[in-house]
Amino acid sequence: MPARNILVINCGSSSLKFALVNESQDTFPLQGLAERLGSPEAVVQWQIGDTKETRQIPNGAHREALEAILPLAQEVAGGQLDGIGHRVVHGGEDFTASCLIDDAVLEGIRANAQLAPLHNPANLIGIEAAMALFPGLPQVVVFDTAFHQAMPDYAYRYAVPEFLYKEHAVRRYGFHGTSHRFVSKRAAEMLQLPVDDSCWLVAHLGNGCSTCAVVNGESRDTSMGLTPLEGLVMGTRSGDVDPALHIHLTRTLGWTIEQVDNMLTRESGLKGLSGLSNDMRTLHEALESGHAGATLAFEVFCYRLAKSLAGMACALPQVNGLVFTGGIGENSAAVRARTIEHLKVFNFAVDAEANARCTRGVAGQIQAEGSPRILVVPTNEERQIALDTLELLD
Ligand code: AMP
């Protein structure tokens, strides 16, 4: 049987990321991004090998973007496209694994839209456009939340009245599940351990950041909660604050819910603390010239990350390794080193040379002698979505 090809689609409200994944190739034969969908500046950009191309699709929406992408994907796949995998943010308690799309699944994604009002409707637009354009192709959905459905109730329940959980689905769900699942499996392969008999602390550090405790291939706890705002300091998100903060701001400054929401999601995190940028690269440069805000943002980021990892350790019977991934986790030796300094109590220590070597997609072990294992593992959510799709096709 020739190697199969899966088109992976990640739809936002005005953007669509895509990648063609071939099961026997390490790199994507085609990948790209459609942006500013629905506006006169709508555009699709893609890359095949080293060749980059752009096509304007004025006022084009998701369907027009997919109409431009399909012939490309078919051509690059040599006419053999085997399926489509869609990323969906929220599966609520209805979805504990990836699944083939049918009417009941579409209804389930719609039913969970109240938990992710910005994301699920956008994901649905992409799915419906793809189904209309490629009716003969099997299509699969992969949920960010599904991996965390294995968490025990004492990890996912908030200490608030029960009816909020029973009647209004208020609980911790967790996100980045596809990434946590992918990198913990890769870490087990790298150390030649069975996935179903290994325990990991994982730090996914990108624009959004979360930690996860993975036991025998299942999530036992994670730092994000009902929404992706809970937990770590992120690019522009605050992570944990006193839950009474918004009451305080309402009482003292007269802020509305929208103002509080905007401040916590878009004006906080590294950006809010540094007063400079949400981008860790910019903060590293500013740190070198002694920028006080950048220094504070870096220190708070690393300390809060270490504190979260120490908390996640409660969910593990043992630690086979600590895994760093995501744009910051895969590239910032400084963040890894500083975070590990706060985890001395677990005997974690980094080897400076190995730490410096693991950047720009280089995977490896970075622990010093005598320390539990510390791994840098590049994440690849597109490949995990393609793997899930292939498994369901089988
Ligand atoms: P992601 O969302 O996974 O693409 O990650 C985005 C984050 O990774 C941003 O905060 C970037 O600043 C950060 N990042 C990317 N490259 C580097 C680098 N070389 N050093 C530090 N941070 C980086």
Q: What is the pLDDT of residues 38-93, one digit of tens each?
A: 999 999 999 999 999 999 999 999 989 999 998 899 999 999 999 999 999 999 99
- How far is the centre of ligand 1, averaged over its atoms, from the C-alpha of 235 (Å)? 10
Tens digit of each residue's pLDDT (9 = 90 or more) over 381-394: 999 999 999 999 98
Q: What is the pLDDT of residues 137-156, one digit of tens each?
A: 999 999 999 999 999 999 99
337 phi/psi in degrees, rounded to 5? -65, -45
231 and 237 Cβ atoms separated by less than 8 Å: no
Question: Is residue 380 a contact partner of residue 346, using CB atoms and an 8 Å limit?
Answer: no
Q: Tell me, yes or no, if the pTM score tops 0.85.
A: yes
Nearest CA to ligand 1 atom 9: 279
**85 labeled part of a ligand binding site:** no
Domain boundaries, the chain: 5-143, 193-381
**Nearest protein Cα to ligand 1, atom 17:** 331
Q: Is 328 annotated as a binding residue?
A: yes
* Residues 236-294: tens digit of each pLDDT: 999 999 999 999 999 999 999 999 999 999 999 999 999 999 999 999 999 999 999 99
Q: Is 5-143's fold the same as 193-381's?
A: yes
Q: Check whether 126 is labelled as a binding-site residue.
A: no
Most ligand 1 atoms within 8 A of CB, residue of 281, 330, 360, 376 to mutate: 281
Nearest to 94 by CA among 110, 108, 115, 113: 108
Query: What is the CA(208)–ligand 1 centre distance, in A?
Result: 10
Phi, psi at residue 205, to the nearest 5°?
Answer: -120, 95
Separation of CA 330 and ligand 1 centre (Å): 8
Determine the distance separating the centroid of ligand 1 and the alpha carbon of 357, expressed in angstroms.
16
Give the number of the atom of ligand 1 that is nearest the alpha carbon of residue 282.
12
Neighbours of 230 (CB within 10 A): 21
Among protein residues, the one whose CA lies closest to atom 1 of ligand 1 = 206
Q: Output the ligand 1 site: residues, CB below 6 A.
A: 206-207, 235, 279-281, 284, 326-328, 331-332
Q: Which amino acid appears at position 7 of this protein?
A: L
Q: Which two tokens stand for residue 307?
A: 């504190």
Instruction: Supply the residues annotated as catalytic.
Output: 144
Query: Which atom of ligand 1 has the smallest separation from the CA of 204?
Result: 3
pLDDT band at 117 (very low <50, low <70, confident <90, very high): confident
Q: Give the ligand 1 atom nearest the CA of 270.
A: 10
- Ligand 1 mean position to 207 CA, how many Å? 7
pLDDT score, position 390: 97
Give the integer Cα–Cα distance in Å for 144 and 379. Answer: 14
Q: What is the pLDDT of residue 259?
A: 98
> Of the residues 280, 285, 339, 358, which should be mutated to test ligand 1's pocket, given the most ligand atoms within 8 Å of the CB?
280
Yes or no: domain 5-143 corresponds to CATH 3.40.50.1970: no
CA-207 nearest atom, ligand 1: 2
Interval 333-379: pLDDT, tens: 999 999 999 999 999 999 999 999 999 999 999 999 999 999 999 99
Which tens digit of pLDDT belongs to each residue from 317-333? 999 999 999 999 999 99
* Side-by-side strand order, sheet with 99-100: 51-56, 43-48, 30-35, 16-22, 5-11, 83-88, 139-143, 99-100
Q: With cut-offs at 50, 70 and 90, classify the pLDDT of residue 2.
A: confident
SS3 sequence, the chain? CCCCEEEEEEECCCCEEEEEEECCCCCCCEEEEEECCCCCCCEEEEEECCEEEEEECCCCCHHHHHHHHHHHHHHHCCCCCCEEEEEECCCCCCCCCCEECCHHHHHHHHHCHHHCCCCHHHHHHHHHHHHHHCCCCCEEEEECCHHHHHCCHHHHCCCCCHHHHHCCCCCCCCCCHHHHHHHHHHHHHHCCCCHHHCEEEEEEECCCEEEEEEECCEEEEECCCCCCCCCCCCCCCCCCCCCCHHHHHHHHHCCCHHHHHHHHHHCCHHHHHHCCCCCHHHHHHHHHCCCHHHHHHHHHHHHHHHHHHHHHHHHCCCCCEEEEEHHHHHHCHHHHHHHHHCCHHHCCCECHHHHHHCCCCCCEECECCCCCCEEECCCCHHHHHHHHHHHHHC
Which phi and psi angles does 129 have, rounded to 5°?
-65, -40
Integer Cα distance of 281 and 332 in angstroms: 8
Q: Could you tell me the distance, in angstroms and rounded to a whole number, from the CA of residue 132 to the centre of ligand 1?
A: 36
Model confidence at 118, in pLDDT bands (50, 70, 90)? confident
Question: Residue 93 has what pLDDT?
Answer: 97
What's residue 218's pLDDT? Answer: 98
**Phi, psi dihedral angles at 213 (to 5 degrees):** -105, 120
d(CA 115, CA 97): 18
Architecture of domain 193-381: 2-Layer Sandwich (3.30)
Does 193 carry a binding-site annotation? Answer: no
**Whether the Cβ atoms of residue 280 and residue 297 lie closer than 8 Å to each other:** no
The confidence band for 134, taking pLDDT boundaries of 50, 70 and 90, is: confident
